[in-house]
Amino acid sequence: MDMEDLFNRSIEHKAQFWKEQAGEIRWTKFPEQILTDGENGYPQWFADGELNICHLCIDQHIEDGFGDQPAVIYDSPVTGKKSTYTFSQAKEEISKLAGGLISLGLKKGDTAVIYMPMIPQTLFAMLACARIGVIHNVVFGGFAPHELVVRIDDCKPRALITATAGIEIARRIPYLPLVEKAIELAQDKVEHIIVYNRHLTENRHELFEGITDYEDLVQRSEPADCVPVESTHPLYLLYTSGTTGKPKGITRDTGGYATALKFSMKYIYGVAPGETYWAASDFGWAVGHSFSVYGPLINRNTTVIFEGKPVMTPDAGTFWRIISEYKVSVMFTAPTAIRAIKKEDPDGELVKKYDLSHFRKQFLAGERCDVSTLDWFEKHIGVPAIDHWWQTESGWPMLGLMTFDEQYKIKRASAGKPIPGYDIKIFDENGYELDAHHEGYLVIKLPLPPGALLGIWNDHERFFNSYLSQYKGYYFSGDGAIRDEDGYVFITGRVDDVINVAGHRLSTSEMEEIVSSHPDVAECAVVGIDDELKGQIPFATVVVKNGSAISEEALEADIVKMVREKIGAVACLKNVMTVKRLPKTRSGKILRKLIRTLLDGKDFQVPSTIDDEKIIEEIQEKIQLYRSK
Ligand code: COA
Ligand code: AMP
């Protein structure tokens, strides 16, 4: 069966199609209700099914006789450590940690925040929660305390699982002072702080009072069995940037997600059980959830946990070393990682050191991939680089290629065709479908397939307003796109205030809130400008208050510090330019797109609604001055 047949069946006979796919995973109660209207009319999959996803990831493989297969490989060039856990060893640790969580009083339906680096204990913590129906929320380790506070206040965790430190190349990032600060600032008390001591150079005094030691907890606890949960039980919350300062708690179900991931591993990634599959993403992002943990483990693949960077740990050959050492057959990363490698190793000299004969396919997502990066990859690595598109909200790819069928055809710069289940259309402003080669809004006809978001945690109104209110009966993706005559889709970028910095999704509105809070700032606009390495980086254009004597340099230094402290270094806001005034429409709206175009030095059309055209020249002059600093 080819991609087109699968796609057509998934749209025309959706219930039957997904019932068959659900049959590919094990349920404690197979669903009779396949597709129903959930709360508030939003479609729900497999409502009366029951299962446990930790069982699918771990226990079922042991029951099937694969207990000795490596489940998890940990490779940490930043600490010089490597280790492997078989499915049986992983079960031992996960089930005891789950028992430990029960002994602390956690139960199905509670929430737990996991704020940890790229170590196996993070994966164990996620699966221990899933084992007993505790809803986890993994917070990217690069986020500052304020981001942790927002999440704690929204999902009210009973436990926070963390580690003593992360490592950024050679820099140790102590987590506990960050956690301590977050706990101090959070509205509600978190009952249990569980800390994995990495025994790096920590001193006992760093561990504050009242914490539970992760290893003690595991050692003293009895293993817990998997608790079957309803298919629609939230497996996790994953906060992502939206168009306001407050991140959205994307809520994921259990049964639909497991079904979609099993489908993805087979049809999209074309990877067979038993092979090694590596998604080089942090656990804190959607890719880390779906394709470092749940997808490969459900499919009985060995997954790789890499604690390092694509470059400098120790060099730009580190990805190829891992692929060769662990016989990785399929890999997934963000284009920015390949760009970083290409910059360091333009002639692919480091690639030649490694045997990549097991490597079949490279998947890329998270941001647009430029053609020169694809060219470099294919020339030096010699395997297909396959772009595909998805979002935290979908949890699995929406555009891509079904590479299980070796006839798949890549079109450069396209993220592929709609994946089965995703009835993708490109609409104009008024909701009319556009013909090929016309740019518009990428929308998806409801119902979304299994695995896509259940909603936004505790905020149905925001869920409705963010995704369902723009075009009745359609999901609004927030991305612009063009389709060609063969059905391939080209993503043109976000149509809202979300930007992607080195594959990290961030909100410019959130940054604007921080910049505006500076006492000398009257108003500001933060936009994402093009960056050769990171794809996009934020740039702040600021109007200072009348009478303020602050210099541009001092203001820039203050703002850079404030953003680092509130969001984290990953925000990468390093440029702040002062202007006399911001370009606005006659009704007073800031023309952010115009500012972005001017900063990128691209051709532009003067917006018909602009209040005063002269401001364009003013800003262009200022940009020249700023750039020549
Ligand atoms: N904890 C603490 N700090 C972190 C961090 C973490 N987990 N992750 C990043 N940071 C810090 C970095 O140290 C850096 O700090 P600095 O400004 O003081 O130097 C800052 O945040 C920016 O980090 P990053 O954007 O990662 O830039 P980089 O120059 O360190 O690395 C890349 C550039 C391209 C190599 C890196 O961004 C990368 O590997 N990106 C891929 C992202 C990815 O996999 N995304 C998932 C989607 S598939
Ligand atoms: P995230 O939710 O962090 O996965 O970010 C999702 C956003 O990243 C999308 O809405 C897109 O704007 C962007 N994105 C993801 N994959 C691609 C891709 N293959 N090409 C272009 N943009 C992408």
Q: Which two tokens stand for residue 20?
A: 């068959």
Summarised one tens digit per residue, pLDDT across range 519-570 is: 999 999 999 999 999 999 999 999 999 999 999 999 999 999 999 999 999 9
Is the predicted pLDDT of residue 268 greater than 60, yes or no?
yes
CA distance 339 to 372: 9
Predicted confidence at residue 138, as pLDDT, reads 98
Q: Where are the alpha helices (DSSP H) in 412-482?
A: 460-463
Residue 503 near residue 535 (C-beta atoms within 8 A): yes
Strand ranges for 310-414 from DSSP E: 328-333, 361-364, 385-387, 399-400
Predicted confidence at residue 207, as pLDDT, reads 62
CA distance 528 to 597: 10
Cα three-residue angle 362-419-444, rounded to 5 degrees:
130
For residue 612, the CA-to-ligand 1 centroid distance in Å is 40
Ligand 1 atom at shortest distance from the alpha carbon of 501: 25
Is the predicted pLDDT of residue 30 greater than 90, yes or no?
yes
CA distance 325 to 66: 21
Ligand 1 atom at shortest distance from the alpha carbon of 288: 46
* Residues 474-502, mean pLDDT to the nearest whole number: 95
Domain ranges within the chain, ordered by starting residue: 3-308+388-464, 506-627
State the fold for domain 3-308+388-464.
Answer: Rossmann fold (3.40.50)
CA distance 608 to 475: 30
Atom 42, ligand 1: residue with shortest CA distance: 503
CATH architecture for the domain at 506-627: 2-Layer Sandwich (3.30)
Q: How many residues does the chain have?
A: 629
Is the predicted pLDDT of residue 596 greater than 70, yes or no?
yes
**Ligand 1 first shell, C-beta below 6 A:** 141-142, 166, 168, 173, 280-281, 285, 287, 309-311, 333-334, 336-337, 340, 365-366, 502-503, 569-570, 572
Single-letter amino acid code for the residue at 285: W
For residue 570, the CA-to-ligand 1 centroid distance in Å is 6
Residue 498 near residue 467 (C-beta atoms within 8 A): no
Q: Which two tokens stand for residue 353?
A: 């050191």
Is the predicted pLDDT of residue 246 greater than 90, yes or no?
no
pLDDT higher for 234 or 588?
Answer: 234
Summarised one tens digit per residue, pLDDT across range 175-191 is: 999 999 999 999 988 99
* Residues 29-57, mean pLDDT to the nearest whole number: 93
Predicted confidence at residue 587, as pLDDT, reads 85
CA distance 512 to 573: 11
Looking at all shown ligands, the one closest to residue 480's CA atom is 2
* Residues 179-208, mean pLDDT to the nearest whole number: 84
Give Cα separations from 417 to 203, 324, 352, 411, 490 (angstroms). Answer: 53, 31, 33, 10, 9
Atom 15, ligand 1: residue with shortest CA distance: 569
Task: Name the residue among 237, 316, 229 with its Cα closest to residue 53.
Answer: 229
| Helix 371-380 and helix 335-344, axial crossing angle in degrees, nearest 10 | 60
Looking at all shown ligands, the one closest to residue 334's CA atom is 1
Q: Per-residue confidence at 418, pLDDT binned at 50, 70, 90? A: very high
Q: Which residue has the tokens 């993706």?
A: 477
Predicted confidence at residue 605, as pLDDT, reads 86
CA distance 423 to 420: 8
Strand ranges for 465-610 from DSSP E: 474-483, 489-494, 498-501, 504-507, 521-531, 535-544, 575-578
For residue 221, the CA-to-ligand 2 centroid distance in Å is 41
Summarised one tens digit per residue, pLDDT across range 132-150 is: 999 999 999 999 999 999 9
Atom 16, ligand 1: residue with shortest CA distance: 569
For residue 561, the CA-to-ligand 1 centroid distance in Å is 17
Atom 19, ligand 1: residue with shortest CA distance: 569
Give Cα separations from 60 to 56, 300, 346, 355 (angstroms). Answer: 6, 9, 45, 33
Looking at all shown ligands, the one closest to residue 388's CA atom is 2
CA distance 353 to 331: 19
Predicted confidence at residue 280, as pLDDT, reads 96
Residue 235 near residue 217 (C-beta atoms within 8 A): no
Predicted confidence at residue 203, as pLDDT, reads 54
Percent of the chain past pLDDT 70, that is, above it, reads 98
Identify which of 364, 389, 443, 467 to mutate to test ligand 2's pocket (most ligand atoms within 8 A of the CB).
389
* Residues 116-131, mean pLDDT to the nearest whole number: 98
pLDDT higher for 370 or 424?
Answer: 424
CA distance 300 to 143: 31
Coil/strand/helix, residue 7: helix
The 10 Å Cβ neighbour count of residue 243 is: 16
Is the predicted pLDDT of residue 456 greater than 70, yes or no?
yes
Identify which of 309, 342, 386, 392 to mutate to test ligand 1's pocket (most ligand atoms within 8 A of the CB).
309
Q: Per-residue confidence at 199, pLDDT binned at 50, 70, 90? A: confident
Identify which of 179, 283, 570 to mutate to test ligand 1's pocket (most ligand atoms within 8 A of the CB).
570
* Residues 595-623, mean pLDDT to the nearest whole number: 93
Q: Which residue has the tokens 């060995």?
A: 302
- Quote the mean pLDDT of the chain: 95
Predicted confidence at residue 202, as pLDDT, reads 57
Q: Which two tokens stand for residue 221?
A: 């606890």
Residue 201 near residue 172 (C-beta atoms within 8 A): yes
Of the listed ranges 17-31, 102-116, 205-219, 376-390, the one predicted with least confidence = 205-219
**Ligand 2 first shell, C-beta below 6 A:** 240, 285-286, 365-368, 387-389, 391-392, 415, 478-479, 491, 494, 500, 505
Ligand 1 atom at shortest distance from the alpha carbon of 332: 48
DSSP letter assigned to residue 204: G
For residue 413, the CA-to-ligand 2 centroid distance in Å is 14
Predicted confidence at residue 1, as pLDDT, reads 66
Is the predicted pLDDT of residue 205 greater than 90, yes or no?
no
Residue 540 near residue 516 (C-beta atoms within 8 A): no
For residue 2, the CA-to-ligand 2 centroid distance in Å is 26
Coil/strand/helix, residue 119: coil
Q: Where are the alpha helices (DSSP H) in 173-246?
A: 176-185, 214-220
For residue 352, the CA-to-ligand 2 centroid distance in Å is 31
CA distance 437 to 439: 6
